[in-house]
Amino acid sequence: MSYDYDVCVIGSGAGGGPVAYELANTGRDVIVLEKGGWFSEKDFAKDEIMSCRRAVFSPNLRDERHEIEQFKKGEWKSESTFDSGWDFWNGSMVGGSTNLMSGFFHRLKPDDFNLLSKYGSIKYGNIVDWPISYSDLEPYYEKVERIVGVSGRNKKHKFSEPRSTNDFPYPPTAEHHISGLIDNACHGLNVSVFPVPRAILTKPQGDRNACYLSGYCGSYGCNSRAKGSSRVSLLDKAVKTGKCQIKANAYVFNIKTDAKGKIEYVEYLDKSTNIKGKVSARIYVIAAQSIETSRLMLNSVGAKHPRGLSNKNGQVGKNLIFSSGGSANCELPYEVYSDEIQSLMKVQGPFVNRASQEYYEHYDPTTKKLQKGGTIEFLMRHPNPIARANLLKWDGNDLIWGKKLQEKLFTHFTKNKHLRFEVFLDWTPNDHCFVALSNNEKDKWGLPVAKIRIGQHGHDASVGKFINEKGVKIFEYLGGKNIHSHLSANPPQNLQAGGCRFGNDPETSVLDKDCRSHEIENLFVSDGSFMPTGGSVPFTWTIYANSFRVADVIKKQL
């Protein structure tokens, strides 16, 4: 049989980019089908209305939506995101959500690969060990540092992970004066703190510039090409080889299998022309982000796959995970500092780049048993002025306006530096967090949308409370005022994984240890769907690293 391409990659973010890059650079013919548009630096203005308040980079909820299922008043209740306005899309474009990330890059720890063995089971939780170890992934973490571009400096602490190199290939980004204050506070509390690696260039690399220090990272595309998006660091280079074609606005809606169950071709709709097309390849890689990957596989039924691709055991969509945790904000009044320090505190742009993993594991004060903890990530309040100002119109439940509002706005923007932290924790996989097909909602083209049940395990809230309290103590030691801490059971849609977990047992996993389908020899899944547990850090670096690993497996198979 003749094929159009050697490899067809569906999705172009951290899971798809490395596969396309590696295979194109070894002379293989690759096509990348991306549902979203193909934006460039000129499209990524620091425009809050466009980027954050009008969801320009997400599908229109009139056309494409999700159904969210939450536990309310003793039962599971569903609501369409078109009705709620809760946008569960993130980064539907060439390069995926890596275009919009803040670029906090942390590796998993060796013990993150063995949660069950190290910390034991959690009642009603589906904790398992990974089928690979940290040492299997370490060379690919290092590869991401070089190719995608990671800046920082390696400072040892008690939970530092082993490295094959002494330091990062790029020096750290410029840091704000507040970073030193955080260091001093943590030292005073005997809490370890370390510089955070960032997927942001601090010196030019080819056609990529160094960071301009605008501060507009999260939720924004990068003007300077410094941020290590899949588009800038991998796909642009893959296209230049002449072996990689990227088709934007290509919505893959069905994967066709033959009588033996092997993938024969994929069908897509060109969203700009409404013309249908199909692509055949020797190997297919799905990397559409966890929710949409599961949805596509469940929608793609065939004679050998009546329940969807690779779903004989009913595991596709199961054990969806996010990042659990919380956050807190505080104000540091300028008036308590000397004139010299005030001028340094008022500087805009440089990064905080500080995190603590002092409590990455700790003894549960209730059970007195060792348990997994998390990461406290320090950062400035996002510079978005409209969103910040909009929150200030409230005084408790009362709406304020006029001079009172003016004074409040003036104080907020001129009298204080606003610091926050975010906590990253494992989201315990459980039977009430999964992706299925909706029976009620369809997209513009008549296909069932994803129904997402977002049940969080109670264990995560108790760990989140513990870690948040530790972070608040650091704020208090800093002299922070108006400290507000927040815990939420609602998942962050930009941090999703699981749904097609990998493992050695075909009865309990969707993929083998190489992220190849147990049932379909020419199908791989290389986005965060493969992860059985998420660690207590953002997922992006691990997804990048694993995708480079999968690319090496595909090279051998071809």
Q: How confident is the model at residue 87 (pLDDT cuts 50, 70, 90)?
A: confident
Identify which of 292, 271, 248, 273 has the alpha carbon closest to the alpha carbon of residue 37: 248
- Angle formed at CA 499 by CA 498 and CA 504, multiple of 5 degrees: 80
Supply the pLDDT for residue 323.
93
Supply the pLDDT for residue 49.
87
Burial class (CB in 10 A: 0-12, 13-18, 19+), 28: buried
SS3 385: helix
Using the predicted structure, report yes or no on whether residue 1 has a pLDDT greater than 80: no
d(CA 242, CA 280): 19
Using the predicted structure, report yes or no on whether residue 100 has a pLDDT greater than 90: yes
Q: What is the pLDDT of residues 436-482, one digit of tens each?
A: 999 999 999 999 999 999 999 999 999 999 999 999 999 999 999 99
> For residue 283, how far is the Cα from the chain centroid?
26
Supply the pLDDT for residue 519.
98
Strand partners of residue 354 = 195, 378
The pLDDT of 103-121, averaged and rounded, is 97
Q: How confident is the model at residue 52 (pLDDT cuts 50, 70, 90)?
A: confident
Q: How confident is the model at residue 366 (pLDDT cuts 50, 70, 90)?
A: confident
d(CA 145, CA 151): 8
Supply the pLDDT for residue 24.
98
- Angle formed at CA 298 by CA 296 and CA 300, multiple of 5 degrees: 70
- Maximum average pLDDT range among 50-54, 380-384, 424-428: 424-428
DSSP per residue, 122-135: -TT------SS-HH
Using the predicted structure, report yes or no on whether residue 91 has a pLDDT greater than 90: no
> In the predicted model, what is the mean pLDDT of the chain?
95
The pLDDT of 329-348, averaged and rounded, is 95
Burial class (CB in 10 A: 0-12, 13-18, 19+), 456: buried
The pLDDT of 145-157, averaged and rounded, is 97
- Maximum average pLDDT range among 90-94, 163-167, 493-497: 163-167
Q: How confident is the model at residue 353 (pLDDT cuts 50, 70, 90)?
A: very high
Supply the pLDDT for residue 258.
97
The pLDDT of 90-117, averaged and rounded, is 96
d(CA 100, CA 258): 38
Q: The CATH number of the domain where 357 resides is what?
A: 3.50.50.60
Q: How confident is the model at residue 311 (pLDDT cuts 50, 70, 90)?
A: very high
Supply the pLDDT for residue 54.
76
Q: Is the pTM of this model over 0.95?
A: yes
Listed in order, strand segments (DSSP E) in 305-415 are: 318-321, 323-333, 354-356, 361-363, 370-372, 374-380, 394-395, 398-399
Supply the pLDDT for residue 127.
97
Return the DSSP state at 507: T
| Percentage of the chain lying above the pLDDT 70 cut | 100
Q: What is the pLDDT of residues 263-292, one digit of tens each?
A: 999 999 999 899 999 999 999 999 999 999
d(CA 175, CA 270): 44
**Sheet containing 281-286, strands listed edge to edge, beginning at the edge strand earlier in sequence:** 244-247, 30-33, 5-10, 281-286, 523-525
Using the predicted structure, report yes or no on whether residue 184 has a pLDDT greater than 80: yes
- Greater pLDDT, 291 or 397: 291
The length of the chain is 558
Supply the pLDDT for residue 348.
87
Q: How confident is the model at residue 36 (pLDDT cuts 50, 70, 90)?
A: very high
Helix 134-144 and helix 540-557, axial crossing angle in degrees, nearest 10:
100
- Cβ neighbours of 339 (radius 10 Å): 7
Using the predicted structure, report yes or no on whether residue 55 has a pLDDT greater than 80: no
Q: Answer whether 92's CB lies under 8 Å from 33's CB.
A: no
With tokens 């691709």, the residue in question is 309
d(CA 84, CA 71): 15
Which residues touch 87 (CB under 8 Å, ≥6 apart)?
A: 55, 58, 61, 81, 493
The pLDDT of 220-243, averaged and rounded, is 97
Q: What is the amino acid identity at position 227?
A: K
Task: Quote the domain boundaries for residue 249.
Answer: 5-557
Q: Answer whether 173's CB lies under 8 Å from 196's CB.
A: no
- Cβ neighbours of 311 (radius 10 Å): 22
Using the predicted structure, report yes or no on whether residue 53 has a pLDDT greater than 90: no
Residue 370 main-chain phi, psi, to 5 deg: -70, 130
Supply the pLDDT for residue 28.
98
Number of domains within the chain: 1
CA separation (Å) from 238 to 24, 121, 200, 336, 509? Answer: 6, 43, 20, 53, 32
- Cβ neighbours of 468 (radius 10 Å): 22
d(CA 206, CA 360): 37
